[in-house]
């Protein structure tokens, strides 16, 4: 099993290109199931999760081309051979549940295994299922699979989510494009990935209004056509690399980044004393001498502070001047990185969904273990700002969400390398 070796060595300077968003691409790919014509995605990231979704689509009979060559993915679902999403593939990635809505909308039946993914809380799929039931689907849970049918097709309806769910909003939005009549999604998620999905579906001929707000209206159509669509830049990768110079000093320009994607996060960096500015090429972050200031953070649905940047922000607060309080309101069990940061000398007190972080002047390198995707990169960031060597173990999580992390950080002056496992 591979590890990442990091040596703290001072300031970082240069450019880091920002890839297409993993979470957006994983949402866009199942849209190919809604049409018999090709869907092409440009700016697609090269990640293990994207390969897993490709394998899942191929298992259903879709053609997926371009995964090995680079950033252009072309998919065609003109001849689906299966409506069963098998456990062996679905267990690897939570986003696999997003094939349920499209399969059901297209052909009126689907069998999809309950999904897996990072161990950061229960994240139940009941909101997905209730949304589809509101559109007339009949569902049965049996032997770890969701058996779904919609005789005569899905019908428009009102879906009111009891709490904001990105995945359930995406699944309902995909399904509603081919439902008969009008579907209204209330208390819908507002994330940029959902806006990106709506824009892609509209290119395919869907009739959608209100994306980016808490109420989305979809008028179902008889069929969707093919399209070409660029994947939105990855706001979580952007925020992660913005934190590298914030922790180490120096100046890094994140090429292709857009400040509108990370406004709440950027406000916290500004509060901590970090300079953030939008440029013609992206977003530039710089930090002078001296320690950053401690700031309090509460994770919230978009446009609030992203839960997927909480672990990385905690790493920054470990060396801040003062005490910060980080409150996690999206997922339970998402402070598993805290004990690993404490192995590096961090002072962290976790009580339920709140972590109190008292900054120290310098972290010290140590062997640590990654527990999930975002924890992996938070430990790498901590290692960049630590004295000595940090060996981050179990980084297979990292490859699910970050493309060429060693190369990108290495190009701005980080001493980082992958240690191949046996």
Could you write out the DSSP letters of every residue in 176-230?
HTTSBSEEEEES----HHHHHHHHHHHHTT-EEE-TTSSEEEEE--S----EEEE
Comparing CA positions, the residue from 386, 387, 384 lying closest to residue 413 is 384
Quote the CA–CA distance of 223 and 422 in Å, as a whole number. Answer: 50
Comparing CA positions, the residue from 47, 416, 363, 414 lying closest to residue 252 is 414
Range 24-39 burial, b when 16+ CB lie within 10 A, else e: bbbbbbbbbbbbbbbb
Quote the CA–CA distance of 341 and 34 in Å, as a whole number. Answer: 44
pLDDT at residue 69, as a whole number: 60
CATH architecture of 22-230: Alpha-beta prism (3.65)
**C-alpha distance across the termini of the chain, in Å:** 6
Identify the DSSP state of 71.
S
Quote the CA–CA distance of 66 and 83 in Å, as a whole number. Answer: 23
330 is in an annotated binding site: yes
* CATH topology match: 3-19+233-419 vs 22-230: yes
Comparing CA positions, the residue from 80, 149, 77 lying closest to residue 112 is 149
Task: Establish whether 200 is a catalytic residue.
Answer: no
Comparing CA positions, the residue from 94, 109, 88 lying closest to residue 49 is 94
22 is in an annotated binding site: yes
Maximum C-alpha span of the chain? 66
* Residue spans of beta strands (DSSP E) within 43-92: 63-65, 73-76, 84-85
Quote the CA–CA distance of 102 and 150 in Å, as a whole number. Answer: 12
Give yes or no for a contact between 294 and 321, defined as CB atoms under 8 angstroms apart.
Answer: yes
Identify the DSSP state of 260.
G
**Cα-Cα-Cα-Cα dihedral of 358, 363, 369, 374, to 10°?**
60
Quote the CA–CA distance of 417 and 415 in Å, as a whole number. Answer: 7
23 is in an annotated binding site: yes
Domain map of the chain by residue range? 3-19+233-419, 22-230
Q: Cis before residue 303, ω within 30 degrees of 0?
A: yes
Four-way CATH pick for 3-19+233-419: 3.40.640.10, 3.30.428.10, 3.40.50.300, 3.65.10.10: 3.65.10.10
Give yes or no for a contact between 54 and 47, defined as CB atoms under 8 angstroms apart.
Answer: no
pLDDT at residue 207, as a whole number: 98
- Spatial neighbors of 180 by CB under 8 A, at least 6 apart, are 153, 154, 155, 156, 220
94 is in an annotated binding site: yes
Q: Is 286 exposed, middle or buried (0-12, 13-18, 19+ CB in 10 A)?
A: middle
pLDDT at residue 374, as a whole number: 85
Give yes or no for a contact between 293 and 271, defined as CB atoms under 8 angstroms apart.
Answer: yes
- Give the SS3 label for residue 161: coil
Give yes or no for a contact between 141 and 113, defined as CB atoms under 8 angstroms apart.
Answer: no
- Give the SS3 label for residue 264: helix
CA 394 to centroid of chain Cα atoms: 19
Q: What is the pLDDT along the chain (422 residues), one digit of tens a residue?
A: 899 999 998 899 999 999 999 999 999 999 999 999 999 999 999 998 899 999 999 999 999 998 656 689 999 999 999 999 998 988 888 789 999 999 999 999 999 998 754 343 444 688 999 999 999 999 998 888 999 999 999 999 999 999 999 999 999 999 999 999 999 999 999 999 999 999 999 999 999 999 999 999 999 999 999 999 999 999 999 999 999 999 999 999 999 999 999 999 999 999 999 999 999 999 999 998 889 999 999 999 999 999 999 999 999 999 999 999 999 998 777 899 999 999 999 999 999 999 999 999 999 999 999 988 888 999 999 999 999 999 999 988 888 889 899 999 999 999 999 999 86
Give yes or no for a contact between 167 and 94, defined as CB atoms under 8 angstroms apart.
Answer: yes
126 is in an annotated binding site: yes
How many DSSP H helices and E strands does the chain contain? 13, 26
364 is in an annotated binding site: no
pTM: predicted TM-score of the whole model, two decimal places: 0.91
Q: Could you give the angle at the alpha carbon of 355 between the alpha carbons of 23 and 409, nearest 5°?
A: 45
**Of residues 25, 118, 200, 248, which has the active-site annotation?**
118
Quote the CA–CA distance of 181 and 83 in Å, as a whole number. Answer: 24
Work out whether strand 158-160 and strand 182-186 pair parallel, antiparallel, or are unpaired. Answer: parallel
């Amino acid at each position: 099993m591979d590890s990442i070796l990091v040596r703290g060595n001072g300031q970082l300077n240069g450019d880091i290109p920002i890839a297409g968003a993993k979470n957006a691409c994983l949402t866009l790919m199942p849209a190919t199931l809604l049409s018999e014509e090709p869907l092409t995605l440009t700016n697609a990231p090269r990640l293990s999760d994207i390969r897993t979704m490709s394998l899942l689509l191929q298992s259903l009979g879709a053609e997926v081309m371009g995964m090995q060559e680079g950033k252009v993915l072309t998919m065609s679902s003109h001849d689906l051979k299966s409506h069963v999403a098998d456990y062996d593939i679905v267990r690897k990635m939570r986003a696999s549940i997003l094939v349920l809505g499209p399969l059901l909308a297209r052909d009126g039946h689907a069998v999809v295994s309950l999904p897996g993914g990072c161990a950061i809380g229960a994240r139940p799929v009941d909101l997905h299922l209730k949304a589809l039931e509101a559109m007339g689907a009949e569902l049965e849970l049996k032997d770890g699979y969701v058996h779904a049918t919609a005789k005569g097709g899905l019908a428009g309806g009102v879906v009111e989510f009891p709490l904001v769910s990105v995945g359930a909003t995406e699944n309902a939005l995909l399904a509603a494009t081919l439902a008969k009549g009008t579907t209204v999604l209330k208390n819908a998620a507002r994330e940029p990935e959902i806006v990106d999905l709506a824009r892609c579906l509209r290119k395919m001929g869907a009739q959608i209004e209100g994306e980016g707000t808490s109420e989305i209206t979809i008028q179902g159509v008889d069929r969707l056509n093919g399209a070409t669509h660029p994947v939105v830049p990855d706001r979580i990768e952007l925020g992660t690399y913005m934190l590298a110079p914030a922790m180490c000093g120096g100046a890094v320009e994140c090429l292709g980044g857009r400040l509108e994607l990370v406004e709440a996060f950027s406000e916290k960096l500004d509060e901590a004393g970090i300079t953030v500015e939008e440029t013609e090429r992206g977003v530039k972050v710089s930090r002078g001498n001296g320690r950053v200031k401690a700031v309090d953070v509460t994770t919230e649905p978009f446009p609030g502070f992203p839960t997927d940047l909480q672990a990385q922000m905690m790493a920054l607060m470990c060396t801040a001047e003062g005490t910060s309080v980080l409150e996690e309101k999206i997922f339970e069990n998402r402070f598993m990185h805290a004990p690993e940061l404490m192995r590096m000398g961090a002072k962290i007190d976790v009580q339920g969904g709140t972590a109190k972080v008292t900054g120290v002047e310098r972290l010290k390198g140590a062997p640590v273990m990654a527990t999930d995707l975002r924890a992996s990169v938070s430990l790498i960031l901590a290692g960049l700002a630590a004295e000595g060597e940090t060996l981050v173990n179990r980084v297979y999580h990292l490859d699910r969400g970050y493309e060429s992390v060693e190369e990108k950080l290495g190009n701005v002056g980080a001493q980082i390398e992958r240690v191949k496992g046996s």
